[in-house]
Structure 1
Amino acid sequence: MSDTASAPAPRTTTAPSVRFGFMKFVVRDLDAMRSFYERAFGLVVAQTIDLPDIVELVLRRPGEETGFSLILYWNKDGRDVAVGTGHGPLGLYVRDVDAAFAHAVKEGAAPHREPWDTDAMRVAFVLDPEGRELELISMRAR
């Protein structure tokens, strides 16, 4: 008999149904960040969740009742919030990267990487007023 254990047979299972729901940003200044995302990207508050310790603003594109949301999460106790490095940018599809980049900067974003082209898309990066990285992408027609 061999001393080597045999690998267990692979299990065949079906993964649960999943769809993307939201990205949540913990913010220092709820009013300022709400205003920025409204002005820079046309998002609107679809829902406000006001609990004893926190407020969440659920932002969506106007007229969209469901689908992906950006949630601004604010702690009422004023605790410090630091933007970390354990995640990548929030990707936003836009029709015109150059126009979206210029508009976001005009509305308070910091330019992070000027627009450039790849084979499949045009891309640029900005930082929101609290330093979160946003990737602006326009896919090329194939």
Structure 2
Amino acid sequence: MVKALLRVNIQFIIRCCSVKFTYTGIRVRNLERSIEFYTKTMGMKIMHKGKMEAGGIYVQLKSEKSPQFLELNYYPPGTKFYEEYVAGCELDHLAFWCEDVRKEYERVISGGATPAVEPWDEDGYTLAFVRDPDGIWIELIGRTRKKQA
């Protein structure tokens, strides 16, 4: 199933070059904590920071070799877009490609992630899920590594 989904997505991207994914925006409760997690644990770099006209603050992050952005959005109480935060309701998950999913799974847990689904192999890929400090689901995915003899 994973191979089929990846094949379909790759074919879609090849055919559909006029529209490209730019970033995923997520609401966060503690901006500094989220910045620390995504920069130190997930290895992302801050690309842009700013204040929204409506009073919110945004920080855009990017992984070194990825064209994708992650936008952290913080809306203080009393601002136009503030809502009571419910962990994970605005987002399904964020996916991070890994060379060694099992190794990264342990590393991100030690960096503050909460285990959600332990690594498993499926159709030539290894997958795992963790939750970030705000409860957002993170998928770790990569090619299944050959066992060392």
- Structures share fold, TM-score greater than 0.5: yes
TM-score normalised to structure 1 length? 0.79
Deviation per CA, 1:105-141, whole angstroms, max 9, x where unpaired?
0111000011111122001000001101001001248
- 1:51 to partner: Cα distance: 2.8
Deviation per CA, 1:5-53, whole angstroms, max 9, x where unpaired?
xxxxxxxxxx781011000011000000110011111001101022350
The whole-number CA distance in structure 2 between the counterparts of 1:19 and 1:83 is 27
SS across alignment from 1:83: coil
TM-score normalised to structure 2 length? 0.75
**Equivalent position of 1:103 in the other structure:** 107
Unaligned runs of 5+ in 1: 1-14
Task: Tell me, yes or no, if structure 1 residue 59 matches structure 2 residue 61.
Answer: yes
The whole-number CA distance in structure 2 between the counterparts of 1:16 and 1:120 is 27
Higher helix proportion (structure 1 or 2): 2
- 1:89 to partner: Cα distance: 1.6
**Equivalent position of 2:22 in the other structure:** 21
CA separation of 1:16/1:107 partners in 2, compared to 1, >3 Å: closer, same or farther?
A: closer
Q: Which has the larger displacement, 116-125 or 48-57?
A: 48-57
Between Structure 1 and Structure 2, how many residues are aligned? Answer: 125
Identity %: 27
**Equivalent position of 2:8 in the other structure:** none
RMSD: 2.1
The whole-number CA distance in structure 2 between the counterparts of 1:16 and 1:119 is 27
- 1:99 to partner: Cα distance: 1.3
- 1:73 to partner: Cα distance: 0.4
Letter in 1 for 2:113: A
Runs of 4+ in 1 over 4 A off after TM superposition: 84-87
CA separation of 1:73/1:87 partners in 2, compared to 1, >3 Å: closer, same or farther?
A: closer
**Equivalent position of 1:6 in the other structure:** none
Task: Tell me, yes or no, if structure 1 residue 124 matches structure 2 residue 125.
Answer: no
SS across alignment from 2:39: helix
Unaligned runs of 5+ in 2: 1-15
CA separation of 1:84/1:105 partners in 2, compared to 1, >3 Å: closer, same or farther?
A: closer
